[in-house]
């Protein structure tokens, strides 16, 4: 994803919070970086974080909000988007559960995602990344995972056609947990019946991303909700 596309994405998010009609001339880069003071991640900071910081602060400076209460609120929101960790609340089986998710930098594949590292781990494979349970489930339980697959040379339409043919499903539009085309299969009505959920989105370079979630019926209100929560924090970014 090039810088112009990422610039447009972040500017749109800021404008959704506060109406901006026209950007004025940007102030100095030094003032921008001093104002944001991003927390340093445990690992090397991805280059897109610094770029996002400068862009966000430039917008605030241009519209005269940086040193106001609304301005500080926007700065806090931008910090929240790109923090190395974030607090989340999950509706698990009728109750609100609090937890912490950690930024996983997959910029070499064009994205970042927050992972609940208390329960899950991310593994990299040649053709896909996979988020799976941190500890193997007992033998009687079906597997639980979310694969993230990038099809650089295959459009959303082509990917959907392929998946519909392979799995005998029909995709439809959804806006939860993200704006995507989605389909689902269920192989029975027992507690251990396997559910597969597929989501497809564009990668903004003409290709597509596939999210393949797998869990079982009894775990839909547990693992299903947790996988969706992690997916909500998926962001397409500039590749390394």
State the 10-residue block means of pLDDT for the chain, 240 residues long. Answer: 61 56 43 47 44 55 51 50 79 82 88 94 94 95 97 96 97 96 97 98 93 97 94 82
- The domain segmentation of the chain, as residue ranges, is 3-82, 85-236
**Block residue for tokens 């106001």:** 68
Show the CA angle centred on residue 124, arms to residues 122 and 126, nearest 5°.
155
> What pLDDT does 176 receive?
94
122, 104 in Cβ contact below 8 A? yes
> What pLDDT does 11 receive?
65
What is the spatial distance between Cα 166 and Cα 162, in angstroms, rounded to a whole number?
6
> What pLDDT does 88 receive?
86
Dihedral sign (CA 154, 159, 162, 163):
positive
Report H helices in the chain. 3-17, 29-36, 47-62, 69-82, 156-167, 223-232
pTM to 2 decimal places: 0.69
What is the spatial distance between Cα 53 and Cα 115, in angstroms, rounded to a whole number?
22
Query: Burial, 189: exposed, middle or buried (Cβ in 10 Å; 0-12, 13-18, 19+)?
Result: exposed
186, 131 in Cβ contact below 8 A? no
* CATH fold of 85-236: Jelly Rolls (2.60.120)
Which residues are within 8 A (CB) of 136 and not within 5 positions of it... i.e. 6 or more apart?
none
Strand pairing report for 120-124 and 180-186: unpaired
Among candidate residues 46, 57, 55, 127, the one with its CA nearest the CA of residue 83: 46
């Amino acid at each position: 994803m090039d810088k112009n596309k990422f610039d447009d994405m972040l500017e749109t998010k800021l404008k959704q919070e506060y109406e901006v009609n026209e950007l004025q001339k940007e102030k100095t880069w030094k003032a921008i970086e001093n104002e944001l003071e991003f927390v340093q991640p445990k690992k090397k900071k991805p280059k897109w974080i610094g770029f996002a910081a400068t862009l966000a602060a430039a917008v605030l400076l241009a519209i005269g909000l940086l040193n106001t209460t609304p301005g500080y609120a926007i700065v806090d929101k931008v910090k929240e988007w790109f923090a190395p960790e974030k607090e989340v609340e999950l509706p698990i089986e009728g109750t609100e559960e609090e937890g912490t998710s950690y930024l996983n930098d997959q910029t070499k594949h064009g994205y970042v995602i927050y992972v609940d590292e208390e329960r899950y781990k991310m593994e990299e494979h040649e053709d896909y990344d996979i988020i799976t349970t941190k500890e193997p489930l007992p033998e009687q339980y079906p597997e639980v995972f979310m694969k993230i697959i990038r099809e650089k040379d295959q459009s959303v339409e082509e990917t959907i056609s392929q998946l519909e043919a392979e799995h005998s499903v029909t995709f439809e539009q959804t806006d939860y947990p993200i704006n995507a085309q989605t389909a689902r299969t269920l192989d029975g009505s027992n507690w251990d019946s396997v559910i597969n959920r597929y989501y497809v989105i564009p990668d903004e370079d003409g290709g597509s991303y596939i999210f393949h979630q797998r869990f079982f019926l009894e775990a839909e209100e547990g693992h299903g909700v947790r996988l969706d929560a992690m997916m909500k924090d998926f962001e397409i970014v500039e590749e390394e």
